[in-house]
Amino acid sequence: MRFLEKKMAGAPLIARVAPFVIFLALTSGQGRFGPESAYWFYLAKTLAGAWMVYEMWPCVKEMRWAVSWEAVAAGVGVFALWIGITAAWTTQNALWAKFGWSTTATTWNPFIQFGAGSGMGWLFVVTRIVGSTLVVPPLEEVFYRSFLYRYIANPSFQTIPMNRFLPVPFLVAALVFGLSHNEWLSGILCGAVFQGLVLRKNRLGDAMTAHAITNFLLGAWVVWKGAWHFW
């Protein structure tokens, strides 16, 4: 039996929420202990996230990858949407600045920190792409699309079918997901698309796959185009 499997098996809420909260806690440490910590904390949270997905797997039955044409279309479409929405007010940094609330915009570019073309730089680039493609999707989809969406409707969230459309939870979950990203408008639309995919397919796996495709394409775009502001 896995290290945490016994505890998670009897606590469906903890199994879906605790790993995501731990992942967020590690994310909050990025950059707080000097510039290099942004990269080391990302590596740490990726490794911790992979371990948590491993622990969650037997307990969170809906966390199963699934591939469909809808998932591929959604993943590519959201990627196009993410890089296509570029208005000044569509990022939180720019939006809050318009209201006079200053924010600190940081660029996640390991080649600046560790040297252009350096081995360390490539280590963290690969870590980010792998983490955002294989670790982030299951953790976030379980939390937002499976847990939060249904919990808003009923604290006994497991009684809510995955394919039941609920307007208020749909809107709230998309808003919370979107506002957790700097590109808030893209994030809201992304959350709506992925939740719609869950509703259409009556399972979580297609949204996980779509999310993975979006993040992989975005990572490739960042490196290819030098569009580090997306990271």
Q: What are 160-210's pLDDT values in tens digits?
A: 999 999 999 999 999 999 999 999 999 999 999 999 999 999 999 999 999
Express each pLDDT in 6-18 by its tens digit. 667 678 999 999 9
The model's pTM? 0.93
Confidence of residue 226 (pLDDT cuts 50, 70, 90): very high
- At 58, give phi and psi (nearest 5°): -75, -20
At 15, is the secondary structure helix, strand, or coil?
Answer: helix
Return the pLDDT at 139.
Answer: 98
> Which of the four pLDDT bands, split at 50, 70 and 90, describes residue 86?
confident
Report residue 43 as tokens: 């590596």
**Spatial CA neighbour of 56 closest among 146, 181, 174:** 146
pLDDT of residue 46: 98
- Which stretches of 157-204 are DSSP H helices? 167-179, 184-201
**Cα separation values, 58 from 48, 54, 130, 156, Å:** 17, 8, 22, 20
- DSSP secondary structure letter of residue 11: -
